[in-house]
Amino acid sequence: MRILMATYWYLPHVGGVNTYINVLGNELIRAGHQVDVLAHHPDMEKIYIVNRGRFVEKQKVKKIVYDKIFDYYEKNQPYVEPWVRWREIERYTFELIAASFNLGQYDLIHTQDIVSTRALARVKPPHIPLVSTIHGLLATEHIIAGDITTKQSIAWKYVSAEEYYGATSADKTIVPTNWLKNKLSQKSFGVPKQKLLTIPYGMDTNHFLSQYHAATTGYVPFTEPNKTVLICPARMVTVKGHRYLLEALSKLKQRRNDFVCWLVGSGKLYHELLSLSHALQLNDVVHFLGDRNDVPQLLKKSDILVLPSVQDNHPFSIMEAQVAGKLVVASDAGGIPEMVSDGKTGILFASKNSDDLALKLQQVLSNPERRRQLAAQGQKWGLKQWSPQTLFAKTFAVYKSAVST
């Protein structure tokens, strides 16, 4: 088969969508299929076929779209916020450019987000099947981040409609967790549950372990040998819950001084979290390492992965920690309980509860033997559960079903 994978997001990047496309794409190529990838260029100035270098300058199309959309809203719906107008302009621009890449040459299109799914559904040739994978729930992330303050607003109604059309516009829609399946089928979004197929992620274990055992490429804070290293690799945005981790570490520091914590990543909350760390007197405990391209190597030098998410779907950081044999201490948010069995393959704590997180960290730091046991059980589970061959087999079965209908 000749397959087009498409996403509105830019590629390459360090996020889960990038990893998913790489893992699934490589398995498809190994099986003899041809795979192209359509995405934004990292400069966000072009939309291109990633593996072939063909691109279209975005601004040439966007200027025409902008004028028409802006004029429409000014005349017909002047009360609609600029934020919503911008999203419509972006979607139409992506849609028009995607249509210029000869979509008729493909046997199947597999989109990776709600924007590209709706866009490709509108412009692809009718006979070409469309499969989508929805990787998260952006609508509620806007609520958590404070971008949308009321569900009575036009902005909320718009993002809810985005989720609905993103999850229903394809012939087959895949979600990685039952949590996301249940969320999308709730009244707020109204996606029929039978429309959604749950297929957990997979990972290229061999590639990850080769990175894991390689030398680090950047600064690593000096850490005394008797101190346990906690690591939290996550974007510094509200939904990742860093505030609760810092509060928990402050409580933990009052009881013991045998740990440090590495925060890996950046984001719009970086300076706010840095200030909070200073205010909580965590300068000697918490190290901000910024964006890194050697996260597997940093994971090797750490002892415990901590993920304090307020909402999360199927984080690759948990998969990687399990395969590496590191203990996972994570919140019970979103799809995480489908990845970590509390007290068996890791530790769960109540989301947004820094007291519970501090208690759970206190327990595992005080019991190294239990920590090793849980990490080993998590590794056994992860090596079996996150097989890339399993992801390929289940996904390709969906492809065959889409082609035959």
pLDDT recorded at residue 53: 83
pLDDT recorded at residue 217: 81
pLDDT recorded at residue 15: 82
Neighbour-count burial of 329, counting CB atoms closer than 10 A to its CB (0-12 exposed, 13-18 middle, 19+ buried): buried
Answer for the pair 335, 313: CB distance below 8 angstroms, yes or no.
Answer: yes
Q: Is the pLDDT of residue 14 over 90?
A: no
**CATH architecture group of domain 206-385:** 3-Layer(aba) Sandwich (3.40)
pLDDT band at 190 (very low <50, low <70, confident <90, very high): very high
pLDDT recorded at residue 405: 81
Sequence spans of domains, the chain: 2-202+388-404, 206-385
If you write DSSP's letter for every residue of 259-271 in order, what string do you get? EEEEEE---TTHH
Q: What is the mean pLDDT of residues 326-335?
A: 98
Answer for the pair 346, 378: CB distance below 8 angstroms, yes or no.
Answer: yes
Domains 2-202+388-404 and 206-385 share a fold: yes
**Topology, domain 2-202+388-404:** Rossmann fold (3.40.50)
Longest Cα pair distance anywhere in the chain, in angstroms?
Answer: 68
Q: What is the mean pLDDT of residues 135-146?
A: 94
pLDDT recorded at residue 259: 97
Task: Report how far apart, in Å, the C-alpha atoms of 60 and of each of 71, 83, 93, 122, 200 are.
Answer: 18, 21, 10, 21, 39
Q: Radius of gyration of the chain from Cα atoms?
A: 22
pLDDT recorded at residue 191: 97
pLDDT recorded at residue 12: 93
Neighbour-count burial of 267, counting CB atoms closer than 10 A to its CB (0-12 exposed, 13-18 middle, 19+ buried): middle
Q: What is the mean pLDDT of residues 37-61?
A: 95
Answer for the pair 253, 285: CB distance below 8 angstroms, yes or no.
Answer: yes
pLDDT tens-digit map of 65-106: 999 999 999 999 999 989 899 999 999 999 999 999 999 999
pLDDT tens-digit map of 267-318: 999 999 999 999 999 999 999 999 999 999 999 999 999 999 999 999 999 9
Which among 117, 206, 209 is positioned nearest to 169, based on CA atoms? 117
Q: Is the pLDDT of residue 352 over 80?
A: yes
Which 3 state secondary structure label does DSSP give 169?
A: coil
pLDDT recorded at residue 135: 96
In this prediction, what percent of the chain has a pLDDT beyond 90?
95
Q: What is the mean pLDDT of residues 190-209?
A: 95
pLDDT band at 51 (very low <50, low <70, confident <90, very high): confident
Which 3 state secondary structure label does DSSP give 404?
A: helix
DSSP E strands in 71-118: the ranges are 108-111
Residue-averaged pLDDT of the chain: 96
- Residue where the block lists tokens 């919503």: 84
pLDDT tens-digit map of 331-351: 999 999 999 999 999 999 999
pLDDT recorded at residue 215: 92
